[in-house]
Amino acid sequence: MDPALKEVWLALLRTMLMIRRCEEQLVKFYAAGAIRGGCHTYIGQEAVAAGVCAHLRPDDVVFSTHRGHGHALAKGVTPHELMAELLGKATGCSGGRGGSMHLFKPEVGFMGSSGIVGPCITLAAGGGYTARLLKTDRVSVAFFGDGAVNNGAFHEGLNMAAAWQLPVIFVCENNLYATEVPFVKATRNPSVASRGQAYGLPGLEVDGNDVVAVYQAAGEAVRRARAGDGPTLLECRTYRIRAHSEGMREVGYRTPDEVNAWKARCPITLFEQRLLQDGVADQLEIERIEAEVGAIIADAARFAEESPKPDPATVADHLYSQTGFHHA
């Protein structure tokens, strides 16, 4: 195998493992009461963030949703900053202002996750508008779930991006449930990808648990966007393994059999098997990556726990670009 391609493959594995191990640590923090409020893990969906973000440069922008830990990590937020944010620490990527659903690191093009479903689609269209206006070849990416595609933001965002040929990749992670409402009960048309045609942009369905499939489809979408050929809609069919949010009841809307069937299609296990079968990597190489990621996560957890809390006197900072304008 081409050594450059092998490097890409192993980087995909490393990103997916980083997300998985980080989420597992966050689950532990949540169970211990160190994290409060919403905590939407990305376990089971790692191939999507890894496969898409592998094509992005630091100056490309990503707008994410409430289930955004994986997107943040894949775009360059460190597990240290992510964990510190969820523990409410000053060293968190949002300085403790955001928490799980409001992660920001514009320095690496991670423009934020959101507790409101839908706006990331139109925000990303705006990122594409800036790229065009400033005559750059940057691209803008929206990650969102199937829950967002029946929101007006999807219609308006895709329509404008297509009408103006903006360099945007709309990545729908169809994990089959909007919170706990099955997608098939929320729409008559179960294919998100087919909706692209309605707006005049390509819509592709890919196996969201196959990181190579995601990587290849996203590569073409990013290439098109950079070349000025307009937006693409990618529907990645995947599944969230854990509850919608940590601590939420897991009954009444899906069966253990369904969850187990998807667990058997773990994107990381599938990819590791493929790497071994194709002779891209041997067990030792995979174990080395596992160990490296494990050490980083352990260090990140320690960092997050030991970091100081933000100074409460700074809570109103950054409400406005200049100080001295508070009127209340």
Partner 1 sequence: MRELTFVEAAREGLAEEMARDGRVFVVGEGIGARGGNFNTTLGLYELYGEERLRDTPISERGFTTLCTGAAATGSRPIVDFMFIDFLTDAFGDLFNQTAKLQWMSNGRLKMPIVLRGCIGVAPQFGAHHSGNYYPFFVHIPGFRVVVPTTPADAKGLLKTAIRCDDPVLFLEHKALLNLKGPVPDGEYLIPFGQATVARQGQHVTVVGIAYMVKEALRAAEQLAAEGISVEVIDPRTLAPLDMDTILASVHKTGRLLIVDEDYAPCGMAAEIAMQVMERGFDDLDAPVQRLNGAFIPAPYSDAFAPGLVPDAASIAAAIRQLLAE
Say whether residue 102 binds partner 1 (CB under 8 A).
Answer: yes
Residue whose CB is less far from partner 1, 118 or 145: 118
Q: Shortest distance, CB of residue 318 to partner 1, whole angstroms?
A: 3
Candidates 108-116, 209-217, 284-292, 299-307 — which segment interacts with partner 1 by CB under 8 A? 108-116
Q: How far apart, in whole angstroms, are the C-alpha atoms of residue 113 and residue 116?
A: 9
Please identify which residue in 64, 140, 232, 307 interacts with partner 1, judged by CB under 8 A.
140
| CB count in 10 Å sphere of residue 195 | 20
Please identify which residue in 65, 122, 175, 238 interacts with partner 1, judged by CB under 8 A.
122
Burial class (CB in 10 A: 0-12, 13-18, 19+), 27: middle
Q: How far apart, in whole angstroms, are the C-alpha atoms of residue 98 and residue 117?
A: 16
List of residues 6+ apart from 34 with CB closer than 8 A = 87, 305
Say whether residue 44 binds partner 1 (CB under 8 A).
Answer: no
Q: Shortest distance, CB of residue 122 to partner 1, whole angstroms?
A: 4
Say whether residue 153 binds partner 1 (CB under 8 A).
Answer: yes
Say whether residue 94 binds partner 1 (CB under 8 A).
Answer: yes
> Do residues 25 and 224 lie in contact, with contact meaning Cβ atoms separated by under 8 Å?
no
Say whether residue 234 binds partner 1 (CB under 8 A).
Answer: no
Q: Which residue has the tokens 């260090």?
A: 299
Say whether residue 130 binds partner 1 (CB under 8 A).
Answer: yes
Q: How far apart, in whole angstroms, are the C-alpha atoms of residue 43 and residue 28?
A: 14
Q: Which of residues 288-317 bind partner 1 (CB under 8 A)?
A: 317
Q: How far apart, in whole angstroms, are the C-alpha atoms of residue 189 and residue 204?
A: 15
Contact residues toward partner 1 (CB under 8 A) are 61, 63, 94-95, 97-98, 102, 104-107, 111-112, 114-116, 119, 122-127, 129-134, 140, 152-153, 155-157, 159-160, 163-164, 317-322, 325-328
